[in-house]
Amino acid sequence: MSGPLANSFTYSKPMTTMNSIDTFSLSALPRRFILASATALALLGSQAFAADKLPVTASFSILGDLVRVVGGERVVVTTLVGANEDAHVFEAKPADAKTLLTSKLVVINGLGFEPWAGKLIKASGYKGETLVATKGVKPRHMEGEQGHGAHAGHAHEEADPHAWQNPNNVALYVRNIAAGLAKVDAAGAVTYQANAEAYVKELQALDAWTKAQIATIPADKRKVITSHDAFGYFAAQYGVKFLAPQGVNTEAAPSAKQVAQLIKQIQREKIRAVFVENMSNPKLIAQLSKDAGATLGASLYADALSNADQPGTTYLQMMRHNVTQLVAGMKLN
């Protein structure tokens, strides 16, 4: 055969029927038959390739991105709570239970972030491995009338689940994910480890860059208003004071007294950096900024990544966007 494809080739029957040779030409076949056959073969090939990948389910979009980074070409990831969606108010559907049953690994954040996850896993009948990505993270604790799930609205102390707001915690996440993937796919252990360590270097670079950006703002100007208290780990790592009319989750509605107190504080401290998160209802914070005389800044990405046409489609992009917007806002204080 010469050239990329010869016009004809000879097909020989098996040895048992070698008394005749059939010859036919590709040119004798209808063009649509050839194209359809090529498409079918390509589809079968892609399906076989996908079938070879390890199916993993992540509870929300940020975790989904981290699993894709660590897993690389060896995994296919499904995310239960997608981009721009709020995991605090997520309600599982029957299709989500089916997704779990096809998975070899389920990855959740833990620290009370997904109070629905345990119920969903139990109800689905999933018997595979479940990984808590925050294993080893030193949790911050919050006290007050706020909470998740059954504890919402009751005064108590609970863990702040938003540990990913500190890149150093995310280094623990990805190492945990690498170990979890290796447990269900030992053949990929070296790959997962290498991907995780390469990403840790990117996280370290992000941490150093963030410190340099925040350092451009005088310490007494590092104050920000956000729509819910999701930035505690960021605040502790980089020395920024965050004030929020809502608690650690988006279900907790602030009282009129709390909002009034916050307005007075904004005016007293001359805070101009006011932001909403991409998965939050902006009405409250918009009214707050109006009453306090502050300007509403660009959306921040707190608990969810963005859609592809927005600037927070990966964890690294999300963090760089947030830092850039926060620094611009705090310069107005």
User: What is the Cα 332 distance to its own chain's centre?
Assistant: 30
The yes-or-no verdict on residue 140 having pLDDT over 70 is yes
User: pLDDT grade, residue 51 (50/70/90)?
Assistant: low
- The residues, ordered by sequence, that sit 6+ positions from 298 with a Cβ below 8 Å of its Cβ are 275, 325
- Considering the segment(s) 51-209 as one domain, its CATH architecture is 3-Layer(aba) Sandwich (3.40)
CA angle (45, 47, 53) in 5-degree steps = 110
The yes-or-no verdict on residue 224 having pLDDT over 70 is yes
Mean pLDDT to the nearest integer, 303-331: 95
Helix (H, G, I), strand (E, B) or coil at 75: strand
- Smallest CA-to-CA distance from 235 within 271, 226, 175 is with 226
DSSP state of 304: S
Percentage of the chain beyond pLDDT 90 is 58
The full set of domain ranges for the chain reads 51-209, 213-330
First to last CA, the chain: 75
- Smallest CA-to-CA distance from 224 within 280, 266, 278 is with 266
Kindly report the CATH number that applies to the domain delimited by 213-330.
3.40.50.1980
> Can you read off the two tokens belonging to residue 251?
């279900």
Residue with tokens 């050839």, as numbered in its chain: 34
Q: Note the pLDDT of residue 14.
A: 41
Q: Note the pLDDT of residue 294.
A: 74
Compute the distance between CA of residue 97 and CA of residue 124 in angstroms, rounded to an integer: 5
Instruction: Let me know: does 109 contact 115? Beta carbons within 8 Å.
Output: no
Q: Note the pLDDT of residue 295.
A: 72
- 51-209 and 213-330 agree in CATH topology: yes
Element (H, E) at 212: helix 189-214
Mean pLDDT of the chain: 81
- The pLDDT tens digits for 263-291 are 787 788 888 888 877 555 567 667 777 78
Element (H, E) at 288: helix 283-292
User: pLDDT grade, residue 20 (50/70/90)?
Assistant: very low
The yes-or-no verdict on residue 44 having pLDDT over 50 is no
Compute the distance between CA of residue 25 and CA of residue 5 in angstroms, rounded to an integer: 12
> Strand pairing of 8-12 and 21-25?
antiparallel
User: Which carries the bigger pLDDT value, residue 310 or residue 142?
Assistant: 310
Percentage of the chain beyond pLDDT 70 is 74
Instruction: Let me know: does 244 contact 234? Beta carbons within 8 Å.
Output: no
The yes-or-no verdict on residue 202 having pLDDT over 70 is yes
> Can you read off the two tokens belonging to residue 291?
């009453």
Strands annotated E in the chain:
8-12, 21-25, 54-60, 75-81, 105-108, 129-132, 141-145, 155-159, 223-225, 241-243
- The pLDDT tens digits for 70-102 are 999 999 999 999 999 989 889 999 999 999 999
**Helix, strand, coil abundance in the chain, percent, nearest 5:** 50, 15, 35
Q: Is the pTM of this model over 0.85?
A: no
Q: Note the pLDDT of residue 284.
A: 67
